[in-house]
Amino acid sequence: MIKNKISRGVLLGILSISVDGIAGLAIFPVLLYYQPKELAGLWILLTSFSALLNLAQAGLGPVITRMATEIKIDSTDSDIEKYYLKVNYCYRIVVFLVFCICALLYLFYIRDVLIKSNYLSSGIIVWAIMTLGYCLKIYATKNINTVNGYGELGWDKLIQIVVTVFSNIAYVIGLYFGLSLIFLATIFFIFSLVYLYGSKVILRIFVKMPKILSRKKINFSEVLDIFKQSLKVLILNLVSVIVLNVDILIVERFWGLNVIPLYSALVKIVTLIIAVSLLIQQMIYPYISLSWNTGVYKKARDLYLKGLMISLITSIVLSALLFLTAPILIPIWIGYGNYLGAKVFGPLLLFGIVYTHFHSHVSPILATGKKTYITPAITNGILSIILGLLGAKYFGINGIALGNIIASLIPTIYVVISTLRFFKTHSKYGGLANGEYKR
């Protein structure tokens, strides 16, 4: 049963990533064909903030998923109701934080970019509409995390497939008829609303919910405790966002908006490889958590090692394949003369492998709730900024990825050794080493 759910989740995840990837790759040449490079770069820049805004969840995702797993194992109706009240309260705070972050981004960064590109009046409207869309998508994640915690994997991917397909069809139609970025932002908002509604549907289908949530007050200290648990995850997520997105900001500062579409096209490919490679980690996360909470430590270790092997093999094979075919495929995709070359793409792909390796060890640890890697994460983030800037200054655009690789190596080595030792120790000396889940 568990294997079937993981397999279903993986298959739907691969399909979702494939659809999202194809749609994302397809929109690049359309943007470059129907929009000036500067406006195309602006749209890509504005949509790139989605990863940063996900940080407003303050690392709640893994914590909520683990809480939902515990509720599923053993709970009363009162426990379930209390869970939903706390989660709803947490995500109202999160939506407010998203709005505040969007406002700060505009005041201290986006406004300056819009002025430079002479797009201030329309750009304000675009960002305001996108802000509302981001708030809706973030709020939907509370439903997604609960469903995943109950072990019903992959259904959120099905919603994402529908949203991706129809939203990108709308984008292409709008660009074909010469509509502005305001239209694209409106489409983004509409399909964020669709995503929220879809998340509510799967929650009602798969999860036992109270018929009516009471209006009793929640003890704020309990909500604060949830955020305290998620703080370490937030730091890890913050580092991930810095490491994966700092290069776009560096490119904008050193080479301007015109180069962003060309560099982002390569980053998009690497991001897709990372997403496919780490998909298995998302699917096994709730089951590692379940194994750990029920004392079956050996099973948790087995899932961790299998996930690690699958993630690494996938990352290496896909990276090698795309590196070899890039000189032929990328010019066909975004136009001849727009491929930045193997000296840029090669280091980006190598960085993707290192990043996948790092997170294939971190995710299983987070599922146990017993350990995090704050110091290595902070070290990685700081070094990525410093070495990325130095690489750009002294080695050109290919130096950004080289800087990120060097920044990631030492933290990755530490995390690998520590995680292997952690699971080996606990599976050998603790828990139901060869047992089944307690029911």
Q: What span, in angstroms and rounded, lies between the C-alpha atoms of 117 and 101? A: 22
Q: What span, in angstroms and rounded, lies between the C-alpha atoms of 196 and 141? A: 8
Q: What is the pLDDT tens value at each position of the chain, 439 positions in all?
A: 555 666 666 677 677 777 877 777 778 788 888 888 788 888 888 887 776 666 656 567 777 877 887 777 666 677 777 778 888 888 888 888 888 888 988 888 888 888 888 888 888 999 999 999 989 988 898 888 888 777 777 777 888 889 989 998 999 999 888 888 899 999 999 999 999 999 989 888 887 766 555 556 667 777 777 777 677 666 766 677 677 777 878 887 888 777 888 888 888 889 889 988 888 887 787 778 778 777 788 888 888 888 889 999 999 999 999 999 999 988 888 788 888 888 889 999 999 999 899 888 888 887 777 777 778 878 888 888 888 899 888 888 888 888 888 888 888 888 888 888 888 877 665 544 444 433 3
- What does the block give as tokens for 97? 């934080």
Dihedral sign from CA coordinates of 170, 173, 176, 181: negative
Is the distance from CB of 113 to CB of 257 less than 8 angstroms? yes
Question: What residue spans define the domains of the chain?
Answer: 1-218, 232-434
Per-residue model confidence (pLDDT) at position 216:
61
CA atoms within 13 A on the CB side of 235: 16
Q: What span, in angstroms and rounded, lies between the C-alpha atoms of 360 and 437? A: 24
| CA nearest to 304, candidates 212, 383, 366, 395 | 366
DSSP for 362-426 reads HHHHHHHTS---HHHHHHHHHHHHHHHHHHHHHH-THHHHHHHHHHHHHHHHHHHHHHHHHHHHH
CA atoms within 13 A on the CB side of 131: 18
Per-residue model confidence (pLDDT) at position 313:
94
| CA nearest to 324, candidates 346, 305, 347 | 346
Indicate the burial class of 220 (C-beta count within 10 angstroms; 0-12, 13-18, 19 or more).
Answer: exposed
| CA nearest to 285, candidates 12, 69, 71 | 69
Per-residue model confidence (pLDDT) at position 59:
65
